[in-house]
């Protein structure tokens, strides 16, 4: 049996041997261990496995990585500049007040499986919330420093990141701090929908975190959930995430 298939790993928790998949988010309330993938468009994919172990990622790293000149952008420089100008005009017209302007950077991978590439990512970018998911119809290798949601009993935490700089920079500017505070207010509002009145608080505001090559500005928003909430109610209130998670997704 090839454990690189039909498995999940995150935070030293390794689950393998797929038992079932479901798109019914209410299944999360049954007390079992589930791997959860929810797309920005709201497509739900849940996976339950036969065995869940405490383990480092158990597969060796690949030497097959794309060279710098093999990466492709979904937008050319001129297209991206036009995209930014459209956003500037929308802001000036009052339609939006902030836009996360994104593009897709992609490259071909010559390997026949993703696990070894993810192991390589872990060595180069040991992101605290890195995760790997392999199912029959989807494979995801994610490397993110950002905590979207942690729940321990009735206590819930979200830690949005807004503000990024080179490690050589001395301090974050006013723009980074203002953007972070804005997202903190947004997440306080989101948690307020599902938490007990008066329990939502900013546990830590504008702390800096160092990662390979980058420094991020992070805040922690916490709260106590209302009684008898289902996971569906929690995710419905919090998705799509107010602070978009930075990740690497590799598709074979």
DSSP calls for 101-119: ----EE----SS-SHHHHH
Domains within the chain, CATH numbers bracketed: 7-61+107-142 (no CATH), 147-238 (3.30.1360)
What would you measure as the largest C-alpha separation in the chain, in angstroms? 58
pLDDT in tens, 161-173: 999 999 999 899 9
pLDDT tens digits, one per residue of 71-90: 889 999 999 999 999 999 99
* Catalytic hit among 20, 50, 77, 146: 146
Residue 5 confidence (pLDDT) above 90: no
Pick the catalytic residue from 79, 86, 162, 179: 162
> Per residue in 127-168, pLDDT tens?
999 999 999 888 999 999 999 999 999 999 999 999 999 999
| pLDDT at residue number 252 | 36
What crossing angle do the helices spanning 174-192 and 231-238 adopt, rounded to 10°? 150
Residue 246 has a pLDDT of 40
Position 180 scores a pLDDT of 94
113 flagged as catalytic: no
pLDDT at 228 over 50: yes
Task: Quote the pLDDT of residue 244.
Answer: 61
pLDDT at position 89: 95
Structure tokens belonging to residue 123: 């060595």
Q: Is 162 known to be catalytic?
A: yes
Average pLDDT (36-57) is 93
* Spatial distance between the Cα atoms of 28 and 235, rounded to a whole number of angstroms: 11
Average predicted confidence (pLDDT) for the chain:
89
Of residues 180, 135, 102, the one with CA closest to residue 23: 135
């Amino acid at each position: 049996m090839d454990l690189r298939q039909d498995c999940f790993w995150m935070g030293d928790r390794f689950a393998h041997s797929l038992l079932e998949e479901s798109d019914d988010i209410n299944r999360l309330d049954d007390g079992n261990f589930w791997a959860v993938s929810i797309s920005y468009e709201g497509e739900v994919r849940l996976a339950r496995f036969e065995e869940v172990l405490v383990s480092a990622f158990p597969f060796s790293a690949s030497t097959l990585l794309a060279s710098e000149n093999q990466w492709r952008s979904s937008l050319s420089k001129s297209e991206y500049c036009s995209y930014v100008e459209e956003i500037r005009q929308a802001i000036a017209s009052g339609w939006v007040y902030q836009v996360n302007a994104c593009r897709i950077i992609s490259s071909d991978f010559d390997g026949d499986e993703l696990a070894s590439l993810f192991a390589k990512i872990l060595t180069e970018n040991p992101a605290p919330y890195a995760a790997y998911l392999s199912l029959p119809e989807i494979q995801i290798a994610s490397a993110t420093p950002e905590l979207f949601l942690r729940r321990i009993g009735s206590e819930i935490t979200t830690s949005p990141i807004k503000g990024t700089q080179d490690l050589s920079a001395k301090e974050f500017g006013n723009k980074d701090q203002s953007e972070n505070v804005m997202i903190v207010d947004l997440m306080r509002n989101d948690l307020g929908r599902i938490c007990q009145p008066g329990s939502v608080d900013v546990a830590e505001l504008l702390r800096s975190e160092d990662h390979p090559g980058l420094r991020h500005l992070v805040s922690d928003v916490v709260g106590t959930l209302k009684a008898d909430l289902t996971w569906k109610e929690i995710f419905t209130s919090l998705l799509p995430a107010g602070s978009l998670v930075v990740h690497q997704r590799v598709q074979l």
